[in-house]
Amino acid sequence: MRRRDFIGGLAFLLLALLGVRESLRLPLGSWQNPEPGLFPLLLSLLLAAMASALLASAVTWRRPAEHPEAMDSHPGKVWWTLAALLGFYVLMEPAGFLLSSFLLLVFLLRAISRQGWPLSVGVSAVAALSTYLVFDRLLKLPLPKGLLAF
Partner 1 sequence: MDTLQNVLLGFGVALQPVNLLVCFLGVLFGTAVGVLPGLGPVAAISLLLPITFQMSPVSAIIMLAGIYYGAMYGGSTTSILVNIPGEAASIVTCLDGYQMARQGRAGPALGIAAFGSFIAGTAGIIGLMLMAPLLGRAAVRIGPPEYVALMVLALTLVTYLSHGPPLKALIMAVAGLLIGTIGVDPISGVLRFTFGSVTLMDGIGIVPVAMGMFGVAEIFDNLEKDIRREIYETKIRGLFPTLRDWAESLGAIIRGAIVGFFAGVLPGPSATIAAFSSYAIEKRLSRHPERFGHGAIAGVAGPESANNAASAAAFIPLLSLGIPANIVMALLMGALMIHGIQPGPLFFSQHPDLFWGVVTSMYIGNLMLLVLNLPLIGMWVSVLRVPYGVLFPLILLFCLIGVYSLNNNATEIFIMLVFGLAGYLLRKLAFDGTPFLLALVLGPIFENNLRQSLIIAKGDFSVFLVRPLSLVFIVAAGLVLATSVSSGLRKRWRQLEAEV
Q: Does residue 121 interact with partner 1 by CB under 8 A? A: no
How far is it, in rounded angstroms, from Cα 102 to Cα 129?
A: 8
Q: Does residue 51 interact with partner 1 by CB under 8 A? A: yes
Judge whether 44 and 57 are in contact, CB under 8 Å: no
Q: Does residue 28 interact with partner 1 by CB under 8 A? A: no
How far is it, in rounded angstroms, from Cα 136 to Cα 14?
A: 42
Least separation in angstroms between residue 88's CB and partner 1 is 7
Residue 69 identity = E
Residue 112 CB-half CA count within 13 A: 18
Judge whether 146 and 93 are in contact, CB under 8 Å: yes
Nearer to partner 1, 31 or 150 (CB): 31
Task: Give the binding site for partner 1 (CB under 8 A).
Answer: 4-5, 7-8, 12, 15-16, 19, 22, 26-27, 30-37, 39-40, 43-44, 46-47, 50-51, 53-54, 57, 62-63, 69, 71-75, 77-78, 81-82, 85-86, 88-89, 92-93, 101, 104-105, 108-109, 112-115, 119, 123-124, 127-128, 131, 135, 139-144
